[in-house]
Chain A
Amino acid sequence: MGTPLPDKDDLLRQYRSMMRIRRFEEEAARNYAKGKIGGFLHLYIGQEAIAVAAVDALRDEDYIFQTYRDHGIALARGMSAKAAMAELFGKDTGCSRGMGGSMHFFDVERNFLGGWAIVGGHLALAAGTAFKSAYNGEDRVTVCFFGEGSTNIGGFHEAMSLAGLWKLPIVFVCENNQYAMGTPLERTSALKDLSIKAKGYAMVGDRFEGHDVTLVQQRIGEAVNRARTGGGPTFIEVLTYRFRGHSMSDPAKYRSRTELEQRKQLDPIQVVRERLLELGVQESELEDIDLEVDEEIDEAVQFAEDSEPARREVMMSTVYAEEGDS
């Protein structure tokens, strides 16, 4: 199947969205190094095309779940860089008001239902929102992202098993970035081609490279359509690569610099950039976008810096939801 020719304006928009993620993550890293951000910080650099493509394959009312590597999808879905950065800074203005942090972004208005930090633990939740679509007879689809490291834990199996059994409207997207923290796939899985697993749950499997935003959008789009029209769930393995360590405290010694440099040849942002230049976009137009993105991210850092710290009242009042109006 051939990749359709992308529309120039769509591609420009996707370029901007991917740059936004890249620059956000770079500034997050800088501020982590300054001690402004604490805890764990997992960067999405190198995988940007997948989040941006998936969002473009979905409708606003569709549900999205992601792992703790969740800044990319949140920004792609439209979260403001300010709310995202303020959350990393632990501020009241953050998307989770300082209760979540890097690993637990939420944007319920945009149906982004969270970054989740127990490997494999959120797959069943995603099957649950898909279950609700089926229960209510809605045509909303759920997309659930996770890494290849999740495919070995029981939570993956039970969620896939029930989704397959009940033909739930869900797309499981495995972002295979080759390393489960520091362990390469060949040391954690007997299968090299993970999409084969789909057969075990009587669902459609697919597998493709993740550096071409156009291709990713088309293939995820097919799966989303299938889910929306009663065709049941799909398991997708997207081959990708993160350019940074697992988290900020990971020196990434388990892979060679040659390998990293090789993979950087397939930097999804470079790929779009070249495509745009081929389509006749001027270099200066792209630089203008870069500058605008830089400005947005700088403002986000300043906003996060200036915001009020997270509040005790929010912490105390959110342990339980208010009762009544059930």
Chain B
Amino acid sequence: MAKIIGLPKLSPTMEEGTLVSWAKKEGDTVDVDDLLAEVETDKATMEFRSFDRGVLLKILVPEGVTLEAEVPVAIIGKEGEDITELLAQVASAGSASAPKSASAPEPASAAGSQPAPESPAVSAPDSPVAPAPEPAPGGNGGRVISSPLVRRLARERSIDLRAVQGSGPHGRIVKRDIESYAGPVAVPSRVSGERLPPEVRQATSMRRTIARKLTESKQTIPHYYLTIDCDIGPLSDARAAINSELEADGKKVSLNDLLIKAAAVALRRVPGVNASWVGKEIHYHQVVDISVAVAVEDGLMTPVIRDADRKGIAEIAEEVRDLASRARDRKLSVEEMTNGTFSISNLGMYGIEEFAAVINPPEAAILAVGTVREEPVVEGGQVVPGRRLRFTMSCDHRVVDGAVGAQYMAALKRIIESPLNMLL
């Protein structure tokens, strides 16, 4: 069957070529690799040899014409074959791939005569932004020169670097300058009536994780809350006694360490709280691993005290200290922060009396610890000084019903008000 022969790409970079001369004429027989024509490319005059066998039925392009690669130049087929259809095909495509030899100047297009777009309006000189800063020392044309470290510290500490004297080369503000700087923290100056836009900061990946997890918790877990008020006096006394025992070793335990232990022991007594909702199953945990919420710069982490019910107070205290300090340095491993079975969050040190925390899934409950309150209490008809602490437990109703939660709170109260209970 006859076929249209296109101008081959005769070098890797050839985009167009000039058909210098035909080596065959119409009616000649052609074999594979026979010379068909000479083509001038970007590299050299190349031989255009045939890839096909047959008879050269039609030459479509005269000598001297410059063409893009692949443009039809000839038809090869069997002697006497009807090629009218192929010719029509070439003719219809032809208008799109006209030879480029006639290099008539291109008519000016309508698009070319469009007026240039107007230049954007020059910004008004009386912009309502703060007045231009004083030139920085060292004459740097108003630019404050400082090390990258200093710029980060200034951002974090809200220090206006224009007020800091630089001691480095060219007046560069370096670390020691900002560390010895005792000046005021910059407060963005406000012209009256002006409304400052919010300062936009990218959320860190930790913040994004917190946002995702807590949103998911609040939206998917049916929370309810139980609050109980306890006499914390006995536990405070126990702490003092323990610390005087530990003093020789230079160790100390906190009230929080004791609360971790108490909460863990209570979980053993009311195991229904030490559980998780997993799909269509409830997993009752065989171990008591307490997640402890630790505030860190720009976020919160929950390292886990494993087997808190079986550990001694001193051991818990040591572990908490180590985990919390490594949490602040962001040096916790993932394993140390996952797979707790119950959480404790304590905001007592901020004077918070009581609060309700968001459950840390897949755990089923979180215990929120308030501050120790010294207040009068009525005891046996007498008003006596008391030390009180309020606990609020948030529960996942899918796992922990109200009665079970209440049993747990009662067990916890018993242990706290009579710490020897922990030994039972």
The answer to whether B70 touches A35 (Cβ under 8 A) is: yes
Residues B11 and A249 in contact, CB atoms below 8 Å apart = yes
| Residues 255-303 of A contacting B (Cβ, < 8 Å) | 257
Contact of B9 among A35, A244, A251, A252 (CB under 8 A): A35
Alpha-carbon distance between A243 and B44 when the two chains are bound, in angstroms: 19
CB <8 Å contact, A26 and B32: yes
- Knowing A243-B33, A248-B10, A248-B11, the reply to whether A29 touches B51 (Cβ < 8 A) is yes
Kindly supply a per-residue 1/0 record for chain B positions 22-48, scoring 1 wherever the CB is within 8 Å of any chain A CB and 0 otherwise: 000000000011010000000111110
Please tell me which one of the listed residues B9, B11, B44, B70 contacts residue A253 in the complex, with CB atoms under 8 A apart: B44
A152 to B418, CA, bound (A): 98
- Residues in A with CB closer than 8 Å to B33 are 26, 45, 243-244
Partner of B8, one of A34, A45, A257: A34
- Across the interface, A252 reaches (CB within 8 A) one of B47, B51, B69, namely B47
Q: Which residues of chain B have C-beta atoms less than 8 A from A32's C-beta? A: 8-9
Interface residue total, chain B, C-beta cutoff 8 A: 17
Complex Cα distance, B8 from A252, in Å, reads 17
Cβ–Cβ contact B51 & A251, under 8 A? no
Q: A6 contacts the other chain (Cβ, under 8 Å)?
A: no
**A10-51 interface mask toward B, CB cutoff 8 Å, 1 = contact, 0 = none?**
000000000000000010011011110011100001000000
A26 to B33, CA, bound (A): 8
Q: Check B12–A38 contact: CB distance below 8 A.
A: yes
Contact indicator A39/B51 (Cβ below 8 Å) = no
Contact of B45 among A33, A38, A251 (CB under 8 A): A251
Main secondary structure of the interface of B (DSSP, over half): loop
| B12 and A33 within 8 A (CB) | no
Closest partner residue, chain A, to B33 (CB atom): A243
Nearest opposing residue in chain A for B52, CB measure:
A30
Closest partner residue, chain B, to A252 (CB atom): B47
Decide: B12 and A249 in contact? CB cutoff 8 A. yes
Q: With A26-B32, A35-B70, A243-B33 known to touch, is A251 a contact of B8 (CB < 8 Å)? A: no
**Chain B 179-215 interface residues, beta-carbon cutoff 8 Å to A:** none
Q: Main secondary structure on chain A at its contact with chain B?
A: loop
User: Out of B9, B11, B12, which one reaches A34, CB within 8 Å?
Assistant: B9
Residues of A within 8 A of B8 (CB): 30, 32-34
Provide the residues of chain B in CB contact with A38, threshold 8 Å.
Answer: 12
Interface residues of A in 82-112 (CB under 8 A from B): none
Closest residue on chain B to residue A35 by CB atoms: B9
Nearest CB in chain B to that of A26: its residue: B32
Write the nearest CB–CB distance from B69 to chain A, whole angstroms. Answer: 7
Choose from B9, B35, B43, B44 the contact partner of A33 (Cβ within 8 Å): B9
From A30, A45, A248, A249, B51 is in contact (CB under 8 Å) with A30
A39 CB contacts on chain B under 8 angstroms:
12
Distance of A170 from chain B, by nearest CB (Å): 35
How near does chain A come to B4, taking the closest CB pair, in angstroms? Answer: 13
Chain A residue nearest in CB terms to B7: A33
- Which residue of B has the minimal Cβ distance to A244? B33
Alpha-carbon gap, A148 to B44, bound state (A): 25
The CA-CA distance from A34 to B9 in the complex, in Å, is 6
Chain B 50-91: CB-based contact to A (< 8 A → 1; otherwise 0): 010000000000000000011000000000000000000000
Assess A33 versus B10: contact at CB under 8 Å? Given A251-B46, A251-B47, A253-B44.
Answer: yes
Q: Mark B1-26, 1 if CB is under 8 A from A, else 0.
A: 00000101111100000000000000
Taking the closest CB of chain A, its distance from the CB of B61, in whole angstroms, is 16
Contact residues in B for A251 (Cβ distance below 8 Å) = 44-47
**A236 vs B289: C-alpha distance when bound (angstroms):** 79
- CA of A32 to CA of B9, assembled, Å: 7
- CA separation between A45 and B33, bound complex, in Å? 10
A249/B32 in contact, CB under 8 A: no
Please give, as numbers and ranges, the residues of chain B lying within 8 Å of A34 by CB-CB distance: 6, 8-9, 70
Asked if A35 contacts B69 (CB within 8 A), the reply is: yes
Closest residue on chain B to residue A27 by CB atoms = B51
A252 cross-chain contacts in B, Cβ below 8 A: 47
A291 to chain B, nearest CB (A): 13
* A33/B11 contact (C-beta < 8 A), A26-B32, A243-B33, A251-B46 known: no
Complex formed: what's the CA distance from A251 to B70 in Å?
A: 19
A38 to B13, CA, bound (A): 9
Q: How far is the CA of A248 from the CA of B47 in the complex (A)?
A: 10
Q: Give me 5 A-to-B residue pairs in the complex whose CB atoms sit less than 8 angstroms apart, sorted by A's number.
A: A33-B8, A34-B9, A243-B33, A249-B11, A251-B47
What residues make up the interface of B, taking CB atoms closer than 8 Å to A?
A: 6, 8-12, 32-33, 35, 43-47, 51, 69-70
Q: Can you name 20 extra interface pairs (CB under 8 A) apart from A26-B51, A249-B12, A249-B43?
A: A26-B32, A29-B51, A32-B8, A33-B8, A33-B9, A33-B10, A33-B69, A34-B9, A35-B9, A35-B69, A45-B33, A243-B33, A244-B33, A248-B11, A249-B10, A249-B46, A251-B44, A251-B45, A251-B46, A253-B44
Question: Sorted from nearest, which 9 A-B pairs have the closest CB atoms?
Answer: A33-B8, A249-B11, A30-B51, A251-B46, A251-B44, A35-B9, A33-B9, A251-B47, A26-B32
